[in-house]
A and B are shown apart, each in its own frame.
Chain A
């Protein structure tokens, strides 16, 4: 080639090229050092970070246990709710296809499909490329203001937002659709790639408000418990926990344990494979209650009917709340528990609607409160069972004693033993019969005192009266006997929110009111008034203890617990910290398989702390004693006479002709609370009254004890009594039906 003929070799300065080589050398050596640092020295650190990048722990929800009644009737179950979801990554490539899907979905679901903009739209913000077309950034931002399942944003907005967050995770565009819509979407699967049906379990309560106070409802994990529950594998915002009733107390075993998958994900969040063998979720245990839904329904109907009747009769809301509890006194099984007013727990199952919760929590009748265990009322004359037991056991009275019961007693109100008795501090203590028969019942035996529920008799037994009964039972000893019958403490039943009631003593009064205990306080405490407060369940327990000849059974609503395969498992419940365990703990009692748990037998366990009394001054002694079986027998006989004595027996009209021997005690408890005061009902001598009745049957071998309570119901025998009668009747009818069908009696 001609161009190469003339060669003029180049001579550069050597140091200049040398410097170039040196620079190249040092740059490359620098890279090698850097690589050595990154890959060899810090290799483990970066490997860990790489593992963190692709490792994702996925919690697999465990199905919640089912709640049955004692006969296997379902009270709480899990139903499928259908959500229509869109997975952005699975949508078709073509924008017009996506827009078609949006339009068709919009027509089916009744939500906006959403609009797209063209590329040359005038806007201050950014125009983003989203599935289906272009969208202004501000429109996308709008969708961030809405929580899932809340109507508002269009399909295009929701999908576009999800596409920026996690394109491989589905976004719910419509929640809780009907099964038909879910089927349509399933059928269109081929035409609508990316659209699918998500099945979400929601809690369903077939018996609804009938058992709402017992079963309770579910709610989201509160922030205060988030850390603790997260450690147990719960996922906030997804998993729910019990907010009331058995759903709360049995939360530990109903919830089961969530499974765990450790999966490899790519940058878009798509699951590639399991990194570790997945831990399968453990389904929650199933819980069988002691409740008989039929008796529960009968009790609820009874309560509703009674409330309706009296409220209609008086033309105003007279009975604002009420309770019926039925229990087997020998086993402690609660067969029915009705607290009026109630609420519909199905309305709270998916999420808790603010308006409904507001309505419930602002209702002065407190429908969310289980009045059977969470409300305290003066027990009135039903408390006389405690006074009677104490007075008889302490020898204040015996079967041969005759007590004079005029229509009223004029007694001195003494705050100190040496207070003089003047006109000024003398006040009348009236018997309820005073208005009809000012002369009173006359001379009564101990059994008649119980049967007629004579206040005057019990004033004398409790507080003593002159020379007739020189030494009454006294408040200290009354407290001992009341406690032995189940008062003044929580029962430990498997329901949250239980109150402990109040049996006062002089020290309590000094601390809480700043006043000395007065003689009058003892008198009215002896008839279950004054400072005495009790929950309906406590009243039932006291009656059951008498019915069961002194054995106080642990009240329970749990009959048994089964695992996912239906095998009965052993479980213990600890009422102190509300835990359910597979082994006994300090203070726990067995709930599965069913075993009657006796709290104590007052004729065996020495529970009664002795007091030595010198006049009105009583001091504690260390010796403990039992309640003599004869005492229980005498009190039982008194409760039976309540039914059998046709002259003044308070339950004789209700149960006199009853085919089965019933025994019981009524109560008409005077009260004056804020509600009554506001309604101007608190008038001295004509106080508003709660209506109580406790009864059990059959008398010889009791298998059912029922308490009924009506707030502001009036006389015990005429309002609460009929309710008890109907529930006991229903119980024996159901039992007869069961036996007729060949079922073994429970």
Chain B
């Protein structure tokens, strides 16, 4: 089955950017541990996950992505099983059930559920490529995604619900959703957003949202200027870290905000701030550039894919990386509210990195089987 595969179209630029970003992540995690004994193993663990991920990329690239579309039922059931069990037995961290302990590993099925959702949507848009872009088509797509979104919402994990919604939206948009349907969706979305913000600021609890999530929204919309040590502490410290970095940074291992632990959750959520402090504007631009290259190569693969399914796989991955990356950076720069979305490839997290590597493997698979004629 591997024999006869042409690696001519394997995207080495994408692989290079991903490897570089992961390596940068490992380097920053090493610095961000800052003497914390509990986290000391994080850097080496991240290395193992990155290496595992690169192997996965090659394996997945070698396998035709359409197999996964065909196998969607068992994958479906597996992830469904995971998510349902999670709602019952998962480990609670900060009020949300997101973790699944298997031996020493903490698995985050949500990360993999997002891949499953992309595959399901890709299959849907492939099968409906010739259907009229009417409301039925839109609702069909929404329903395909809805059950995964629903299960994630129950955890509750608002950020990933938004990730999936954005992926769904982008796919619908590129596949030619009618402008008036966009208007309706945008109207509903805006209404929901305004409702959530208004209710949160007024202090009214909303079902499916945790108190801390509403608090985050309030803190972002109307920050309390006196609240230096309260909820805005992390964001304030992140801003200080970023700003203190200057042009070239304070030097690797010398960022005072990071090394003296003023910056919290610096190896995951705020790793962008940590690297901005130690490597300055140069380091920040490098991260944005790497993300930009990865997204660009994914969209490029989407454009060259030989069928809608492949195109949607690549586009879904591009959207996933772009949205998660932007939300994370935006949070680090205090232009977006705090959410738990990690910085793709850079933040610490075995499940997240592995899932992203699987995504890249799928994109490589699409790229290798692009529509150009092969001689």
A: which residues have CB within 8 A of B? 1, 3-4, 7-10, 12-13, 16-17, 19-21, 24, 27-28, 30-32, 34-36, 38-40, 42-43, 45-47, 49-51, 53-54, 264-268, 272
Contacts and interface: CB of A to CB of B under 8 A. Distances in A.
Interface in B217-259: 237, 239-247, 256-257, 259
Interface in B331-360: 333, 335
Contacts of B281: 35-36, 39-40
Contacts of A40: 246-247, 281
Contacts of A266: 259-262
Interface in B39-72: 64, 66-67, 70
Most A Cβ at <10 Å: residue of B244, B306, B330:
B244
Contacts of B257: 50, 53
A46 B329 CA distance: 18
Interface string B165-202: 00000100111100000000000000000000000000
B14 to A, nearest CB: 16
A1 B333 contact: no
Interface residues of B, number: 51
> Interface on chain B toward A: helix, strand, loop, or mixed SS?
helix
A39 B307 contact: no
Nearest to A16: B174
Contacts of A32: 285, 288
Contact of A39 (B175, B276, B329, B369): B276
A53 B292 CA distance: 34
A27 to B, nearest CB: 5
Given A20-B174, A34-B335, A50-B240, 10 more contacts: A8-B307, A10-B371, A17-B303, A28-B292, A35-B281, A38-B239, A39-B245, A49-B240, A265-B260, A266-B259
A528 to B, nearest CB: 67
B1 interface: yes
A10 B329 contact: no
A54 B255 CA distance: 11
Contacts of A12: 174-176, 303, 311
A31 B239 contact: no
B320 to A, nearest CB: 13
B100 interface: no
B326 A27 contact: yes
B305 A16 contact: no
Contacts, number: 134
A10 B311 contact: yes
Contacts of B173: 16, 19-20
Interface on chain A toward B: helix, strand, loop, or mixed SS? helix
B371 A38 contact: no
A39 B240 contact: no
B306 A9 contact: yes
B306 A1 contact: no
Contacts of B295: 24
A268 B259 CA distance: 12
A20 to B, nearest CB: 7
A39 B243 contact: yes
Contacts of B369: 4
Contacts of B70: 3
A458 to B, nearest CB: 76
B306 A35 contact: no
A374 B288 CA distance: 79
Nearest to B333: A34
Contacts of A43: 243-247
20 contacts: A3-B64, A3-B70, A7-B307, A12-B311, A13-B176, A16-B176, A20-B174, A21-B299, A35-B276, A38-B243, A39-B246, A43-B244, A43-B246, A46-B239, A54-B260, A54-B262, A264-B256, A266-B262, A267-B260, A267-B262
Contacts of A10: 129, 305-308, 311, 371
Nearest to B309: A10
A39 B282 CA distance: 10
Contact of A31 (B237, B288, B307): B288
B284 interface: yes
Nearest to A48: B244
B299 A35 contact: no
B66 A31 contact: no
B132 to A, nearest CB: 15
Contact of B170 (A8, A20, A38): A20
User: Which 8 A-B pairs rank lowest in CB-CB distance, beginning with the nearest?
Assistant: A46-B243, A50-B244, A266-B260, A9-B371, A3-B66, A267-B261, A7-B306, A43-B246
B280 interface: yes
B322 interface: yes
B256 A39 contact: no
Contacts of A21: 299
Nearest to A47: B244
A1 B243 contact: no
B260 A264 contact: yes
A253 to B, nearest CB: 40
Nearest to B243: A46
Contacts of A35: 242, 276, 281, 284-285, 333
